[in-house]
Amino acid sequence: MRVLIADDESTSRLLLKAMVSKLGHECLVAEDGSQAWELLSGGGIDVLLTDWMMPGVDGPALCRRVREELIDDYIYIVLTTGLENPERVLEGMGAGADDYLIKPVDSFSVRTRLVAAERVTHLHGRLAATQAELAKVNVELLRRSLTDELTGLGNRRRLEEDLTRTHARALRTERSYGVALLDIDHFKLFNDHYGHIAGDAALRDVAAGMEQVTRAGECVYRYGGEEFLLLVPDCERANVIFTASERVRRAVVDLGIAHDARPSEPPLVTLSGGASTWSAGSKATAADVVGQADEALYRAKSTGRNRIEVSQAVALDATSGAVVAGT
């Protein structure tokens, strides 16, 4: 262990150092509380043997400071004092000391304190390691609870959390955001023709293809079944969400996943999408925006598929009309 001795009396300091070093521990020394605190702040100290009475920062004050500020690693503290008054001993323990030594100290007393210190610091180290491992497990469990198991995208729960935060931020900052619902065309026919294993593989490929072309700030989620949702924050113009959705639609076409059971051209897996935006001053809720996107998706499905339609509740720029997507 690394043991720090803080004592303003040179004789006591040298005596303690000799005892501690003889027991095989690494020993550091400080001539007062202030110097001791500098060494403690540098980390790596397992045990502090500190005198009660010292200039500057005394022993109890040093104990309190260690307990209040150095909380990452446990430091075992032993107060050394010539005061045999039990009340003063209890005062030191209340300040954060683990044990005490009465001067003049002897090697046996020092040895027993260090045995206890080694046991306690080892237990604290194991506890800290266990807590760190539990924290990692909890983070992983949280990640899994927010991730769709099949596609690796954010799931419905993650979507609802992110959409709620995005809507709240939009209300606060008066900045718009866009939402697009995207659905794989004729996916039931794909499953019936190729089987569900191939259907799962297609869902994974589509998800990866969409995620690959989403830009910074954009996020795509599995909404349910073969349906996905694209969220685009800070979407000041309606055609921004259309452009983002169209980029995703084209990426899926470019995957070239065969769909020979499809009743219309092209014989590939494609997406249809409906997009909508929330703008500053709107009374619409986040659910309203998703509902508008869903209505636009229905229009995209009913007017040919493999296309993006923008909600009729959204005013478009002249250059952003809902055009039939090319292949």
**CA angle, 280 as apex, 279 and 281 as ends, to 5°?**
110
Q: What is the pLDDT of residue 140?
A: 75
Distance CA 248, CA 246 (A): 5
Give a yes or no: residue 106 inside a domain.
yes
Query: Does 167 lie in the same domain as 128?
Result: no
- CB 274, CB 230: distance < 8 Å: no
Query: Does 212 lie in the same domain as 126?
Result: no
Quickly state the pLDDT bin for 306 (edges 50, 70, 90): very high
- 226 is a catalytic site residue: yes
Backbone angles phi, psi at 100, to 5 degrees: -145, 160
Quickly state the pLDDT bin for 27 (edges 50, 70, 90): very high
Query: Does 82 lie in the same domain as 166?
Result: no
Range of the domain at 305: 156-310
Query: Does 177 lie in the same domain as 56?
Result: no
Query: Does 284 lie in the same domain as 166?
Result: yes
Residue 236, pLDDT above cutoff 80 = no
* pLDDT tens for each residue of 104-160: 889 999 999 999 999 998 898 888 888 888 888 888 777 778 899 999 999 999 999
Distance CA 302, CA 275 (A): 15
Q: What is the pLDDT of residue 131?
A: 85
Catalytic annotation, pick one of 211, 226, 246, 309: 226
68-73: long-range contacts at Cβ-Cβ below 8 A with a sequence spacing of 24 or more?
70/40, 70/41, 73/43, 73/124, 73/125, 73/128
Give pTM, 2 decimals: 0.62
Q: What is the pLDDT of residue 326?
A: 35
Query: Does 134 lie in the same domain as 273?
Result: no
CATH classification at residue 13: 3.40.50.2300
